[in-house]
């Protein structure tokens, strides 16, 4: 077989000594890049609004776990994973919030910390809501991006772990990859650092920040005017050979450069010096507000979140807003898929396997799933379901009812009414007062004996009128037809029994 089973090539990563240099801008490499992305996310209003909207939409999304099969063991494994999600020292919502930092920095690493579930204990490695003795998640804490010292790789470009250099003691901590959950926005040449969703917005953010600074300085200068300080006649401050004149000139320049409109404004000048404030000659050639708005739009566009600017710039229609929010929701759905994939490929299989043979009978591992980001349009959904049922392409069974209830935010079905009705019918039903009746019970003294109920006798004591028997048969036929119609309606509604 020769080299058939042997890996021969390399990924071609620009990696030296555990550091990646795939980013061609030096200011976005390593810890410098992390500092830039942190400033972008925390100091820019448009980017902050984008990240906030993403986080809030994801935090309100519902999460569920699906069993790997239909056996009772599969259901038990599913319930166990759900219980672990609800039994961590950090809430599931906070854990998701920490994971979402991979959007800002491109990647996020979380260590898996286990515990033995031994009920109410003081030791956090034993404390749990449950007393089954199984091993669950204690927490999934982030290993902050700015504490990364280097990545560990083997000779075949397989990641082995990371080395951390965290405060406050700044010691070196090695964490193997088996203990890590690594989330990243995209994969390129196996780079674990992914790519920040803010990367394409960096250029626009850079120029916007500079223009805002220049705009602030310009406004401040226009308020104060253009300062001109004139030296007394006969004082040659331009004489570079005279140290005293050089010092006076430097002091004068320092005065005009620091004239501001604030609580400390004012000037004390010696006799003969004259200070003038020249006002600007008119409006500037460039509208900085329009330039900044253009950069805001482009930054939002890189994240498919430019819908947040609709209405602020007096442009955009409702239909356009609907299309843009739909694309934004699809992007968020892909981020949720990334989170689910990491849990389904690493966290959940490791959690099941660490409990040994307890879950050996499962068909497959449970899987984490997420709900929809947007609420369904109930009007369109109702119209669609109605048309599908009308044409016979959809049968409204219990699963369809459960789906409709879920989409509409209605409560779940608490009782299977069909089973309850079937049980009631087998027991003889109930009377008008709601009292249970037995089908074979003897009639009470107030009831006519069997065979006489509904039988009419003539006043002369002769035999029953044959016409009366026909009426009874017609009544029975009508009741049978009504029962058949009821059963047919129940069948159309996906109900059992009848």
Per-residue model confidence (pLDDT) at position 263 = 73
Collapsing DSSP to helix, strand or coil, 335 comes out as: helix
Average pLDDT, rounded, for the chain: 82
For the cut 50, the answer to whether the pLDDT of residue 323 exceeds it is yes
Mean pLDDT, residues 226-252 taken together: 89
- Token pair 């331009």: residue: 238
Instruction: Tell me which DSSP letter residue 235 carries.
Output: -
Per-residue model confidence (pLDDT) at position 55 = 92
- Token pair 């410098």: residue: 32
Per-residue model confidence (pLDDT) at position 216 = 83
The contacts of residue 182 (CB under 8 Å, 6+ apart) are 107, 108, 109, 159, 192, 342
Percent of the chain with pLDDT over 90: 47
Per-residue model confidence (pLDDT) at position 1 = 58
Where do runs of H (alpha helix) occur along 416-465? 417-426
For the cut 70, the answer to whether the pLDDT of residue 427 exceeds it is no
Q: Are 128 and 87 in contact (CB under 8 A)?
A: yes
Per-residue model confidence (pLDDT) at position 105 = 96
Question: What pLDDT band is residue 416 in, cutting at 50, 70 and 90?
Answer: low
For the cut 80, the answer to whether the pLDDT of residue 256 exceeds it is yes
Mean pLDDT, residues 28-54 taken together: 94
Which tokens in the block code for residue 288? Answer: 């900085």
For the cut 80, the answer to whether the pLDDT of residue 102 exceeds it is yes
Question: What pLDDT band is residue 340 in, cutting at 50, 70 and 90?
Answer: very high
Q: Within 10 A of 206 (CB to CB), how many other CB atoms are there?
A: 14
Mean pLDDT, residues 136-142 taken together: 97
Query: Which is higher by pLDDT, 281 or 164?
Result: 164
For the cut 80, the answer to whether the pLDDT of residue 157 exceeds it is yes
For the cut 70, the answer to whether the pLDDT of residue 123 exceeds it is yes
For the cut 50, the answer to whether the pLDDT of residue 317 exceeds it is no
Per-residue model confidence (pLDDT) at position 246 = 92
Closest CA to 321 of 309, 306, 307: 307
Question: What pLDDT band is residue 354 in, cutting at 50, 70 and 90?
Answer: very high
Mean pLDDT, residues 348-352 taken together: 96
State residue 298 phi and psi, 5-degree precision: -70, -35
Per-residue model confidence (pLDDT) at position 151 = 96
309: left (phi over 0), alpha (psi -120 to 50) or beta: alpha
314: left (phi over 0), alpha (psi -120 to 50) or beta: left
Query: Which is higher by pLDDT, 480 or 147?
Result: 147
Per-residue model confidence (pLDDT) at position 321 = 53
Where do runs of H (alpha helix) occur along 44-132? 45-59, 72-85, 92-99, 101-105
Which tokens in the block code for residue 57? Answer: 């939409």
Closest CA to 46 of 367, 420, 297: 297
Measure the CA–CA gap between 397 and 376, rounded to whole angstroms: 20
Whether the CA torsion 368, 374, 378, 383 is positive or negative: it is: negative
Per-residue model confidence (pLDDT) at position 460 = 42
Collapsing DSSP to helix, strand or coil, 237 comes out as: coil
Mean pLDDT, residues 153-158 taken together: 90
Beta strands in 290-396 (DSSP E): 367-370
Q: Are 302 and 149 in contact (CB under 8 A)?
A: no
Q: Within 10 A of 191 (CB to CB), how many other CB atoms are there?
A: 20
Whether the predicted model's global pTM rises above the 0.75 cut = no
3-state secondary structure 241-273: CCHHHHHHHHHHHHHHHCCCCCCCCCCCCCCCC
Q: Are 68 and 74 in contact (CB under 8 A)?
A: yes
Q: Are 357 and 53 in contact (CB under 8 A)?
A: no
Measure the CA–CA gap between 372 and 381, rounded to whole angstroms: 14
Per-residue model confidence (pLDDT) at position 482 = 63
Which tokens in the block code for residue 183? Answer: 């989330």
The contacts of residue 14 (CB under 8 Å, 6+ apart) are 20, 21, 22
Distances (CA, A) of 172 to 149, 167, 342: 8, 10, 26
Question: 445-495 pLDDT, tens per residue?
Answer: 444 444 444 444 444 444 445 455 555 556 666 666 666 665 665 555 554
Measure the CA–CA gap between 247 and 263, rounded to whole angstroms: 27
Pick from 127-136, 397-406, 414-423: least confident: 414-423
Q: Within 10 A of 142 (CB to CB), how many other CB atoms are there?
A: 19
Measure the CA–CA gap between 37 and 196, rounded to whole angstroms: 8
Query: Which is higher by pLDDT, 425 or 39?
Result: 39
Distances (CA, A) of 187 to 193, 194, 327: 9, 6, 22
Determine the Cα angle at 101 with ends 100 and 102, to 5°: 85
Per-residue model confidence (pLDDT) at position 412 = 81
């Amino acid at each position: 077989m020769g080299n058939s089973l042997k890996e021969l090539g390399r990924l071609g990563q620009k990696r030296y000594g555990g550091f990646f240099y795939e980013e061609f801008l030096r200011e976005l490499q390593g810890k410098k890049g992390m500092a830039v992305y942190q400033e972008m996310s925390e100091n820019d209003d448009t980017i902050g609004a984008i990240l906030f909207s993403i986080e809030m939409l994801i935090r309100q999304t519902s999460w569920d776990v699906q069993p790997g099969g239909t056996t009772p063991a599969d259901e038990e494994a599913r319930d166990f994973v759900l219980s672990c999600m609800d039994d961590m020292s950090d809430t599931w919502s906070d854990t998701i919030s920490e994971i979402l930092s991979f959007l800002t920095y491109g990647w996020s690493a979380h260590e898996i910390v286990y515990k033995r579930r031994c009920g109410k204990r003081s030791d956090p490695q034993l404390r749990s809501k449950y007393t089954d003795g199984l091993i669950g998640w204690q927490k999934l804490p982030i290993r902050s991006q700015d504490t990364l010292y280097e990545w560990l790789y083997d000779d075949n470009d397989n990641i082995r772990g990371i080395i951390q250099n965290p405060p406050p003691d700044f010691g070196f901590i090695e964490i193997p990859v088996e203990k890590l959950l690594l989330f990243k926005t995209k994969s390129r040449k196996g780079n674990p650092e992914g790519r920040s969703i803010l990367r394409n917005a960096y250029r626009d953010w850079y120029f916007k920040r500079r223009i805002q600074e220049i705009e602030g300085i310009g406004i401040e200068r226009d308020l104060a005017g253009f300062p001109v300080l004139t030296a007394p006649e006969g004082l040659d401050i331009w004489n570079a050979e005279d140290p005293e004149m050089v010092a006076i000139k430097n002091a004068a320049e320092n005065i005009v450069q620091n004239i501001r409109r604030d609580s400390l404004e004012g000037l004390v000048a010696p006799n003969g010096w004259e200070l003038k404030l020249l006002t600007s000659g008119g409006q500037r050639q460039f509208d900085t507000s329009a330039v900044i708005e253009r950069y805001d739009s482009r930054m939002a566009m890189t994240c498919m979140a430019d819908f947040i600017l609709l209405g602020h710039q007096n442009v955009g229609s409702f239909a356009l807003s609907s299309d843009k929010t739909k694309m934004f929701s699809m992007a968020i759905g892909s981020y949720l898929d990334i989170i689910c994939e990491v849990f389904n490929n690493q966290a959940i299989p490791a959690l099941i396997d660490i409990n040994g043979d307890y879950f050996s009978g499962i068909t497959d591992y449970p899987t984490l799933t997420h709900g929809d980001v947007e609420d369904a349009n109930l009007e369109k959904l109702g119209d669609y379901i109605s048309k599908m049922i009308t044409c016979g392409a959809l049968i409204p069974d219990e699963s369809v009812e459960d789906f409709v209830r879920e989409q509409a935010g209605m409560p779940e079905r608490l009782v299977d009414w069909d089973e309850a009705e079937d049980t009631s019918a087998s027991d003889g039903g109930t009377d008008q007062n709601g009292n249970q009746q037995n089908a074979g019970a003897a009639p009470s003294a107030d009831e006519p004996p069997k065979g006489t109920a509904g039988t009419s006798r003539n006043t002369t004591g002769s035999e029953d009128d044959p016409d009366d028997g026909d009426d009874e048969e017609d009544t029975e036929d009508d009741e049978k037809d009504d029962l058949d119609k009821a059963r047919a309606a129940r069948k159309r509604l996906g109900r059992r029994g009848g």
